[in-house]
Amino acid sequence: KLKAHITSKVSSYRPLFKHYRLIQYPIMHSSVYSSYLEQSLRGDIEKSLAVVETILSNTRNPCLATPSQSHTYDDKFSLSVFLTNIALMAVCNVLMQMGLKKDDFQRLIDVVVVKKKLAATLRFESTETCTLVKEEIIKMEGPEVVKEGGDSLKNVFKSKKVITKVKQFHWKMDIRYRIYVYGGNDTSGSGEDSFTLRDETVSCKIITRGNKEPPARMLDLHARNPSPVDVSLTWLLKQMDASSLTAAYDIDRSAESCRTPRNNQETMEAEKHFNSIGNWCSQVSRYFIAKQKNVNILKLQDSVHTGLNQDGMDITLAARASDEVFNPVVPLFESHNDKKSEGDARLLMHDDSAEGGTETGTTSPILPASDISSFLTEQCRTMEEKIEALKKQGDSSSNTTDFMTSNEAILTLLCKHLIAIISIWNKSVNYIEDMLLTQLKDAIGKTVKSSDLDDFIRFHNERIFHEDFAPEPFCYSVRRPGFHPEGVVTIENVPDSVDKKDIHQAMTFTRKLETNHKLTPVFIPINAAASVEFRGDMFLHAWIMSKFNQRNKFELAARTRQFSSFLLILGKMTGPDGFEPAHAIILQNKDEIMIPLLMEDLPSAKEFKDAIESLSPEQQRFAKAFRSMKLASSVFGVCIIQLKPQLEVLLGLPDKSLTKEIRLTQDLLSLFIDYQVPSDLLTFDGLSDMNATSKLLVVKNHVKSVMDMIKSAKEDEMKEEAMKADMAHDMFSKDMVGSVPQQQFVPKTASKEMIGSVPQRQFFPKRASARVMYGRSSVAAPAALAATPPTSPPRWRSGFGVEVNSKSLEVQSQETQENKGGISSSNNGISSSSSTTNSSSIDFTHIPKKLNAAFEKFSADEVYGGVMRTTTFKTGEKWRKSYQPNLLSSIKTKAFYVDDQKREKNKALDLLDALSRSGSLPIACAELHIIVASTHSFEQSVVDTVVKKNVNPIEKIERSHLVVASLIHDVGLEKLLRSTHELKRIVGHSPLLLDNSSTRGLIDNNE
């Protein structure tokens, strides 16, 4: 009972242990796993190595293959072939011990390989029956009971026995099992192409008392007729030579799928076949072991009397005895000083009459065929020795009611031995690849990560590219020529650690687009009625990222200096003359914004074609249209607008007038951002021949007048609120009945003089009027205005000394009408004021399509050399902004979510509306950075790509950079590279780069 309790507890925790192992192995670091694999393999083959020393001569020195031993890369392939061949022969030896005769094996090869070309399947099937033999009633005596008392001395002590009649049932448990090989679909196993290995029946008598039910414990693991267990032997038989019965497995080194000694089509097929055989053996052995465990549990029950011999055949002990059978699959190397190696890679099946191979003049560290024959002979000898021992144990058992006989114990022993052979083969083949990992690590000195490869690519590009075309970091100072920077805008990676040394800027191929080559001007829409013409510098960037396993994270960072400011706009290019803002923000006075960039890869051209190949024409057209839209919308734009130069143009001031006017610049920005003051109230309106100082003084006076007016309006508002408070206090003090409506600011008993003393609201209109004043009838006023203190705006009468007459309003209205006419023409593509463009301009939305066409030429290399995919951008939902509330306070950080981003965008576009007079003034002192991104994606890590895929990622990434650089800069390879030596080297591994069609430029006058 105690044994049954412990067994049930261990079984309940077994899934947890299995899950723990599954989650531990994959998260091992490659170096840790490498050490673990070597130590595990050494422990498994320790006994086999000791046996090898006794088999070979004492002058030989075979040992476990290690990277430190002298060998070549081809020797690793030979070792893989060696291990697979000897594993095949070891499996054949076990099948023969199970009952497959040598002549039947020859006939099987003929059926599968030579004559009928049929599939061969090894099947285990069993049939379980439980029959009631007889039913009887028996008498069972209970324990003797002694009672005290009685009438006489004779009856003082009286004993009594209880006899109970119990029904007893005799059961007979029969299990008939067969192991046979059948060809084709003849599952009966009785055809001419079928061969029986074993056909046995085991029986057991069980006696139960009480209920007339069969022994449930015997039937809980399997059904009455369990499903057969099949495994294919077709692949194994195809690897055998029909004439000599030798294993002729080999690896096709010339095949494209052959990457490494481990990663090739032949080894993968061998792994699949061996694992299926191991699974078959595991199910068969578990079947018999489980049956015997159930019988042992039945022995512990009071209601069951088995009559079984407690010291009968124990299958679990037979399974443990499989460890003592010699395993010939051992990854060994042997150094040959002046000796010659023997034989070839073909291994002979164990036969006492087999002769060793012929001698050759090679010096390969692989063991000769004669040694392999000795290993297989030792395997057969130890198997036969253990089989004889189990037979003797079965014969010595005098009880004929044993459920499991020596036949089942031998079968379990052979299955466990097959599992051990396959396990060592798997570990050995993986160990060969692990040797490559170890050697690569020792050669470099570390395990290369994706960040290390990125550092190397930066260094490599600087060395091979001409300085005019080499990639540059995306890091730009916001400045006017000859002046201190206002700030900086950069795209940088997000490091895994807090160490800022790991922060690097994105490297892009950059081309500055000349503004005088008849490009169509770019318009930035600020609302549905107005667009701003961009006349600043334009830069085209091609950003190529490499992804191994997982993508690096990047973010766009913008930082300003003290007393500096600029406007940042993020969006997408919508054509040759369109830039659609998605986000905008005003940065000033040491502000710092960190915007995460979320990236998504589109399918490559080959992947897309393969996906739509079997679709209908309508479905293909739909997919192509949607993909074209996704490619066109993948062009990302970053616009940087300097505020001081634009303020000078807006106010009519000379260039660089506001450079040292810090207070004036701050007041101007506050008026435009917080109060939305019309720019006409602040613009210089004096004589044009006045000097710069006089013009600046006029603007200062206008600013001072508006600021004084605002200050006065705030004071009047405070007085008004104070008066309301006093009136409310008086009303409550007089205990007036009823409540005063909230919108009524004076009591009913107030005099007309008191009512007339309340200031009337006559300054700026509500937000709807403010939109009309700004010419933005369809866009709401910025949220910053709503966030201002609840003060009443100043009145027109008390602020300005300048009279606003009807004539000035008419001029402003006329300018607005002219602006509307210009915008309507710009909505059609080109503004009337800037129509000097021709068809040779760059349509930025076509650049991803050209890149896809160039990458498609190398689509045949996508399986192993990585895939080039177009990458789209969008910003994350959570931004981080650092700011300094005042000069004496410390830096604070806050999160910017979607609502905050919308509020900042409205505020920034309102400012841009004011600076451009609703689109009538172009933006000149600005930069527009157009980014086209692509990702070279690899499925595995850097080390696994090099070792398991046998691919040099440096050459693949280098090729992608050359294709992109030639397209962006519109030059050939000979101009991109520094020397002809680099050109010859690159063409050697990527000859398709010489095709002129792959280096066509972006500007094609023939289109």
Is the pLDDT assigned to residue 246 strictly greater than 70?
yes
Residues with Cβ within 8 Å of residue 686, at least 6 apart in sequence: 694, 695, 698
Contact by Cβ (8 Å): 91, 421? yes
pLDDT band at 763 (very low <50, low <70, confident <90, very high): very low
Number of C-alpha atoms within 13 angstroms, CB side, residue 891?
12
Which H or E element spans position 129?
Answer: strand 120-141
Phi then psi dihedrals of residue 594, to 5 deg: -115, 115
Here the tokens at position 137 are: 């009633």
What is the spatial distance between Cα 686 and Cα 699, in angstroms, rounded to a whole number?
Answer: 10
What is the spatial distance between Cα 127 and Cα 175, in angstroms, rounded to a whole number?
Answer: 6
Helix axes 847-856, 953-969, angle to 10 degrees: 140
Burial of 830 (0-12, 13-18, 19+ CB in 10 A): middle
What is the spatial distance between Cα 653 and Cα 659, in angstroms, rounded to a whole number?
Answer: 12
What is the spatial distance between Cα 372 and Cα 610, in angstroms, rounded to a whole number?
Answer: 48
Here the tokens at position 321 are: 């005895």
Tell me 105's DSSP state: H
Burial of 956 (0-12, 13-18, 19+ CB in 10 A): buried
Here the tokens at position 776 are: 């933005």
- CA torsion angle for 881, 885, 890, 896 (degrees, to 10)? -20
Which of 882, 880, 858 has its CA nearest to residue 869? 858
Tell me 746's DSSP state: S
Q: How far apart are the first and last CA of the chain?
A: 89
pLDDT of residue 341: 39
Q: Which residues pair with 120 in a beta bridge?
A: 183
Burial of 505 (0-12, 13-18, 19+ CB in 10 A): middle
pLDDT of residue 4: 55
pLDDT band at 154 (very low <50, low <70, confident <90, very high): low
Which of 226, 173, 171, 176 has its CA nearest to residue 201? 176
Is the pLDDT assigned to residue 953 strictly greater than 80?
yes
Contact by Cβ (8 Å): 508, 543? yes
pLDDT of residue 992: 82
What is the spatial distance between Cα 952 and Cα 451, in angstroms, rounded to a whole number?
Answer: 16
Helices (H), 544-661: 605-612, 617-632, 643-651
Is the pLDDT assigned to residue 157 strictly greater than 90?
no
Helix axes 102-109, 73-98, angle to 10 degrees: 120
Length of the chain: 1007
Number of C-alpha atoms within 13 angstroms, CB side, residue 257?
8
What is the tens place of the pLDDT at every residue in 93-118?
999 999 999 888 988 998 888 877 88
What is the tens place of the pLDDT at every residue in 199-240?
998 887 878 877 777 775 555 544 455 789 999 999 999 999
Burial of 636 (0-12, 13-18, 19+ CB in 10 A): buried
Number of C-alpha atoms within 13 angstroms, CB side, residue 671?
27
Which of 909, 895, 886 has its CA nearest to residue 585? 909
Contact by Cβ (8 Å): 616, 540? no
Q: Which residues pair with 640 in a beta bridge?
A: 568, 927
Pairing relationship of beta strands 926-938 and 537-548 according to DSSP bridges: parallel
pLDDT of residue 56: 84
Is the pLDDT assigned to residue 391 strictly greater than 80?
yes
135-139, 437-441, 503-507: which range is least confident on average? 135-139
Is the pLDDT assigned to residue 420 strictly greater than 60?
yes
pLDDT of residue 501: 66
Q: Which residues pair with 932 in a beta bridge?
A: 542
Which of 64, 105, 107 has its CA nearest to residue 88? 105
pLDDT of residue 207: 80
Number of C-alpha atoms within 13 angstroms, CB side, residue 778?
8
Give whole-number Cα distances, 299 to 205, 310, 566, 677, in Å.
12, 9, 88, 99
Is the pLDDT assigned to residue 617 strictly greater than 80?
yes
What is the spatial distance between Cα 420 and Cα 426, in angstroms, rounded to a whole number?
Answer: 10
What is the spatial distance between Cα 837 and Cα 521, in angstroms, rounded to a whole number?
Answer: 8
- Mean residue pLDDT of the chain comes to 79
Q: What is the mean pLDDT of residues 313-319?
A: 68
Residues with Cβ within 8 Å of residue 896, at least 6 apart in sequence: 593, 878, 879, 880, 881, 904
% of the chain residues with pLDDT over 70:
75
What is the spatial distance between Cα 404 and Cα 305, in angstroms, rounded to a whole number?
Answer: 17
DSSP state string for 494-521: --SSS-GGG--BPEEEEEEEPTTS-PPP
Which H or E element spans position 883?
Answer: strand 879-883
Residues with Cβ within 8 Å of residue 853, at least 6 apart in sequence: 605
What is the tens place of the pLDDT at every residue in 114-129?
877 889 999 999 988 8
pLDDT of residue 168: 85
Residue 321 CA to its chain's centroid (Å): 45
Q: Please indicate whether residue 518 or residue 563 has the higher confidence score (pLDDT).
A: 563
Pairing relationship of beta strands 579-588 and 867-875 according to DSSP bridges: unpaired
Contact by Cβ (8 Å): 295, 312? no
Residues with Cβ within 8 Å of residue 40, at least 6 apart in sequence: 427
Is the pLDDT assigned to residue 431 strictly greater than 60?
yes
Phi then psi dihedrals of residue 291, to 5 deg: -65, -40
Which H or E element spans position 148?
Answer: strand 145-148
pLDDT of residue 788: 38
What is the tens place of the pLDDT at every residue in 682-720?
999 888 889 989 999 999 999 999 999 999 999 999 999
What is the spatial distance between Cα 997 and Cα 853, in angstroms, rounded to a whole number?
Answer: 10
pLDDT of residue 279: 95
DSSP state string for 303-361: TEE----TTS--HHHHHHGGGGS------EE---SSPPPB--S-EEPP-TT--PPPB-S
What is the spatial distance between Cα 58 and Cα 250, in angstroms, rounded to a whole number?
Answer: 31
Residues with Cβ within 8 Å of residue 963, at least 6 apart in sequence: 851, 854, 855, 858, 993, 998, 999
% of the chain residues with pLDDT over 90:
47
What is the spatial distance between Cα 406 and Cα 412, in angstroms, rounded to a whole number?
Answer: 10
pLDDT band at 300 (very low <50, low <70, confident <90, very high): low
Residues with Cβ within 8 Å of residue 898, at least 6 apart in sequence: 877
What is the tens place of the pLDDT at every residue in 818-855?
433 332 333 333 333 333 333 346 789 999 999 999 99
pLDDT of residue 529: 87
Here the tokens at position 825 are: 């023409």
Here the tokens at position 724 are: 């309301």
Q: Please indicate whether residue 36 or residue 331 has the higher confidence score (pLDDT).
A: 331
Is the pLDDT assigned to residue 780 strictly greater than 70?
no
Longest dimension (CA), the chain: 153
Q: Please indicate whether residue 335 or residue 503 has the higher confidence score (pLDDT).
A: 503
Contact by Cβ (8 Å): 425, 275? no
Q: Please indicate whether residue 208 or residue 942 has the higher confidence score (pLDDT).
A: 942
